[in-house]
Amino acid sequence: MIQTTKFQHKKVLVLGLAKSGVAASLLLHKLGAFVTVNDAKPFDENPDAQALLKKGITVICGRHPEDLLDEGFELAVKNPGIPYTNPIVKDALSRNLPVITEIELAYLVSEAPMIGITGTNGKTTTTTLIYEMLKEGGRHPRIAGNIGTVACGVAEKATKDEVIVTELSSFQLMGIDQFRPKIAVLTNLYNAHLDYHGTFEEYAKAKFGITKNQTEEDYLIYNGDQDVVVEWARNSKATKIPFSIRGRMKDGISADETTIYWQGEPFISRDIIALPGKHNLQNILAAVAVCNIYGCDRLAMEKVLKTFSGVRHRTQFVREWKGRKIYNDSKATNCLATKVALEAFQQPIVLIAGGLDRGHSFEELRDAMKNVKAVVAMGETKHRFIEFAKSCNVKNCEIAENIEDAVEKAAKLSESGDVILLSPACASWDQYKSFEVRGDLFIEAAMKLS
């Protein structure tokens, strides 16, 4: 960690706890800042706040005092989930008080260079692939960010001989000032989080914050197949590396039906790749580009591509059973994600879908249902999904009471050569605490098939 004096004796407000707030508070305290934490959860129900108080950090819990900023803070570190419409955040900005997220703090203290990955879809898969390839190639990576490990906690421990591979959300990127990754990746851009950002333009602006401080000494790897991404990428000062799955290109990294090309030259054969789907091929191209720029050995990349079968709950290969291949895509909590999963397979699909009813239409899936031979629906949307499936000429449709029942019924509806796919197109909260719980129970049920 860089032993900076930037925060020494400065009054810093940490707004919101959770993992990022706790890590930021502890790091700032260690760097000599006078830290005050403000969190909505009452102190008696807030073990994180209790632990911070024991460290000598000022804690204000259970409320957000209107006069909080009268304390003369010089910096605010905001939990990424807190919107900029929050009264305290708005008050801070009106006072010209800098408001950052902990990713900025991580960058300011990190001795290790950072690789940043963002986009609407594919972030976690791309981040994980980069990490695994760099690790296989002996490049000493650490993984951090929106993938589950707080970046400033990782940066505190990372050395200059390591590299931090960081998954970044639009929420995190709105709170940066100097953050400048050596390599930035933009996987794609679709409408998302508009309840937070207001418009697609503001959402895209937040995402492209990942490259705003880059120079020509840095690299931006971006989706050359998506016009909106190409248009935004023109504004970057970084050295640009597009990726494309539309065939061999002279520039960047590309792929046709048989081969991955680097700057137009054959680089890796596609027949070694274990991960299915065109969307995953895009993720693979982005990851290979990063690792090639970073000096990772090609054989190390190939070794990972031969064995990597997906991130847990994201079109994750579970097992082969009596000629059927079973995949867990519980993370698909909306139609776009399920559409991408369905389009990843050429084989007949027995689809398990349904969950929390938010009233959304399933029409976005219609064109992707052509390979679906049977549907097992569960949860609050089960009847609506069955009705939709029948309108798509899916003949075999059944209702399941829960995920275990769904697996049994899908197994009976399937035959050798089929794919059994959990890709719900709905959130899990009607029956399960999270998509992770739903996916774990699916895996458990699939492994029990005799």
User: What pLDDT, on a 0 to 100 scale, did the predictor assign at position 149?
Assistant: 87
pLDDT of residue 365 exceeding 80? yes
- Domain total of the chain: 3
Which of 62, 81, 100 is the C-terminal boundary of a domain?
Answer: 100
H-helix or E-strand spanning residue 259: strand 259-262
Binding residues for ATP: 119-125
Summarize pLDDT for 103-131 with one digit per residue, the tens. Answer: 999 999 999 999 999 998 889 999 999 99
* Residue 320 shares a structural domain with residue 405: yes
Summarize pLDDT for 19-68 with one digit per residue, the tens. Answer: 999 999 999 999 999 999 999 999 999 999 999 999 999 999 999 898 99
- Label the pairing between strands 239-244 and 163-167: unpaired
User: What pLDDT, on a 0 to 100 scale, did the predictor assign at position 121?
Assistant: 87
* Residue 158 shares a structural domain with residue 258: yes
Does residue 380 contact residue 403 with C-beta atoms inside 8 Å?
no
User: What pLDDT, on a 0 to 100 scale, did the predictor assign at position 236?
Assistant: 98
Tokens of 342: 């369905």
User: What pLDDT, on a 0 to 100 scale, did the predictor assign at position 312?
Assistant: 85
* Residue 295 shares a structural domain with residue 201: yes
User: What pLDDT, on a 0 to 100 scale, did the predictor assign at position 335?
Assistant: 93
User: What is the DSSP code string of 150-161?
Assistant: -HHHHHHH--TT
- Domain of 263, CATH number, reads 3.40.1190.10
Which of 100, 126, 153 is the C-terminal boundary of a domain?
Answer: 100
Summarize pLDDT for 221-231 with one digit per residue, the tens. Answer: 999 999 999 99
Q: Left (φ > 0), alpha (ψ -120 to 50) or beta: where does 89 sit?
A: alpha
What's the whole-model pTM score? 0.84
Query: Exposed (0-12), middle (13-18) or buried (19+): which is 279, by Cβ within 10 Å?
Result: buried
Classify residue 2: in a domain, yes or no: no
Which of 72, 100, 128 is the C-terminal boundary of a domain?
Answer: 100
Q: What is d(CA 419, CA 410) in angstroms, rounded to the nearest whole number? A: 10
Q: What is d(CA 188, CA 250) in angstroms, rounded to the nearest whole number? A: 21
High-pLDDT (> 70) share of the chain, %: 100
Between residues 173 and 190, the one the model is more confident about: 173
Summarize pLDDT for 175-222 with one digit per residue, the tens. Answer: 999 999 999 999 999 877 777 888 999 999 999 999 999 999 999 999
Average of per-residue pLDDT across 335-361: 94
Classify residue 4: in a domain, yes or no: no
Classify residue 238: in a domain, yes or no: yes
Give the HSE-up count for residue 218: Cα atoms under 13 Å, Cβ half-sphere. Answer: 21
User: What pLDDT, on a 0 to 100 scale, did the predictor assign at position 130?
Assistant: 98
Average of per-residue pLDDT across 373-387: 98
* Residue 252 shares a structural domain with residue 365: no
Please provide the average confidence, as pLDDT, over all residues in the chain. 95
* Residue 362 shares a structural domain with residue 288: no
Binding residues: 119-125
- Domain of 415, CATH number, reads 3.90.190.20
Q: What is d(CA 356, CA 144) in angstroms, rounded to the nearest whole number? A: 30
* Residue 65 shares a structural domain with residue 118: no
What number of other Cβ atoms are within 10 A of residue 388's Cβ?
A: 22
**Domain span including residue 71:** 11-100
Listed residue (261, 280, 290, 291) closest to 184, CA to CA: 290
Classify residue 3: in a domain, yes or no: no
User: What pLDDT, on a 0 to 100 scale, did the predictor assign at position 191?
Assistant: 78
Summarize pLDDT for 257-272 with one digit per residue, the tens. Answer: 999 999 999 999 999 9
Task: Report residue 165's pLDDT band, with 50, 70 and 90 as the boundaries.
Answer: very high
High-pLDDT (> 90) share of the chain, %: 89
User: What pLDDT, on a 0 to 100 scale, did the predictor assign at position 212?
Assistant: 97
Q: What is d(CA 213, CA 209) in angstroms, rounded to the nearest whole number? A: 8
* Residue 352 shares a structural domain with residue 289: no
* Residue 130 shares a structural domain with residue 56: no
Classify residue 1: in a domain, yes or no: no
Task: Report residue 146's pLDDT band, with 50, 70 and 90 as the boundaries.
Answer: confident
User: What pLDDT, on a 0 to 100 scale, did the predictor assign at position 66?
Assistant: 86
Average of per-residue pLDDT across 414-423: 98
* Residue 83 shares a structural domain with residue 112: no
